[in-house]
Chain A
Amino acid sequence: MSFVIILIKGALIYGGLLGTAAAMTLAERKVSAWMQLRIGPNRVGPGGLLQPLADGIKFIFKEEVTPDGANKGIFRLGPIMAAVPAMLTIAVIPFAGETTIFGIDFGLLSLTDLDIGLLFVLALSGLSVYGGILGGWASNSKYSLLGGLRASAQMVSYELSLIMTALTVVALSGSMNLREIVEVQNTGNFLDWHCFTPVVGQVGLILFVITTFAETNRHPFDFAECEPELVGGFHTEYSSMKFALFFLGEYCAMTVMACLTTVLFLGGYSVPFWEDAPWIVQVGTFMTKTAFFLFLFIWVRWTLPRFRYDQLMNLGWKVFFPIALANLLLAGAVISLS
């Protein structure tokens, strides 16, 4: 019975994740169009809603090109390494508390309840660097190689700040288990959400959001792609479904990072003024909060220009890292004093 329940939950959560990723590709084009006073895709289906489907079909029927001199095995491994870790991390995100649907106890609405959930997410999102660098290196192209190198350098620099900021939350809630982190914030009073912890919370939230942008290679930190300098970065030589997998990985990583920000700082599934809300309200709340961050990803992309590479490194090492460290220290002081 429990096996069936896990299967159902898995199907729901992964269906939701892939659906969100698909919807994000459409949302990206639609929102960018709206911000530039255009209409955006509107020919496929009502209001262009079936555009992701059309894109998917097109990707499947495209010719797959493997460049001469590419390392075939690793070339194939690249997109997989980009997509799989991003999809795996969703497993530990709790979408709602104890859930009972039609009298069947589903337990916590997440795939697993790992005690080191946060560590799991950070480790796997660190692994997704390999997608870029392996793909970039195996393509046997200078642009791809540079893109891969930049991606890895950037991720390594920003991962540090990301982990430091996540540690702040761990210190505040006293656990690495994502469910417990949410439960600490789920008191019915939304001022208990970590983002409302004076100073530490706000600095943490801003740092975390910005570093997730860098971590998922999004504008204004998308040096791995960087069209004007590197053609397409690490996926220059990729075509067809391999290319689509890179994109799927990127959008899945965005979704997971939005979920993670919600869990760590916005109280996950906790509903303001309603401590033990029914699961459907909790899931709705969670999705609303996540949707905001997903929108933020798009919003920022179509507002800010790309940084220069040295500015990126300066920002990572000389600004974010010290602030993250100081913030962690401050969090420690706050906890030990209270």
Chain B
Amino acid sequence: MVVVKRRELTFWERIYLPEIFRGLAITFKKMFEPRVTRQYPEETLPTTEVTRGQPRLVVKDDGNIACVSCGLCEAACPAYAITIDGQETERFIEREPERFEINMLRCILCGFCEEACPKEAIFMSDELELADTTRQGLVYDMKRLERPASTLKPRIDYVRRINERW
């Protein structure tokens, strides 16, 4: 058993009023100090290439989607958020997704899909805001997931740099 001895208060502290005035002085001073609030919708936090936002699909510079619908990200996804239906294509890579959906309500932004992807086709973007009035509206189809490679460039470079370490 631990007995904690309370410190005896001095008379000055026991009459309480001087300490109250001291406290009041502190709060009054604080009124004129700079604010720390960030006005969120107007002032967002700065994002960097390390920011792990929502996953996005890469559209290569020639206008084709980089995904070959191998299904590795679908398998890696711990939240079962990804659904892929593949189809054949005339292009050299032979396969592309017919349907690629990410249920953003399920997505936990873990980044496993990015790690699993052998074709550098899916990356975590710096887009973080997620709001809708229906559940169906938050199941993102291919059209809403596609981003040109140029906008994802910093993240792509970052992931390549990290991967080189191993």
Contacts and interface: CB of A to CB of B under 8 A. Distances in A.
Interface of A: 31, 34-39, 206, 299-300, 302-304
A300 B17 contact: no
A299 B17 contact: no
B17 A37 contact: no
Given A37-B36, A39-B35, A303-B23, 19 more contacts: A31-B31, A34-B31, A35-B27, A35-B31, A36-B30, A37-B33, A37-B34, A37-B35, A38-B35, A38-B36, A38-B37, A206-B17, A299-B27, A300-B20, A300-B24, A303-B20, A303-B26, A303-B27, A304-B20
Contacts of B28: 35, 299
A210 B20 CA distance: 12
Residue among A31, A37, A302, A303 with max Cβ neighbours from chain B (10 Å): A303
Nearest to A301: B27
Contacts of A302: 27
Contacts of B24: 299-300, 303
Contacts of A37: 30, 33-37
A31 B31 CA distance: 8
7 contacts: A37-B34, A37-B36, A38-B35, A38-B36, A303-B24, A303-B26, A304-B23
Nearest to B20: A304
Interface in B19-49: 20, 23-24, 26-28, 30-31, 33-37, 39
B22 to A, nearest CB: 10
Contacts of B34: 37
B25 to A, nearest CB: 9
Contacts of A31: 31
Contacts of A36: 30
B30 A35 contact: yes
Given A299-B24, A304-B20, A304-B23, A34 B30 contact: yes
A90 to B, nearest CB: 27
Contacts of A34: 30-31
Contacts of B27: 35, 299, 302-303
Residue among A31, A39, A206 with max Cβ neighbours from chain B (10 Å): A39
Nearest to B33: A37
Contacts of A303: 20, 23-24, 26-27
A36 B27 CA distance: 8
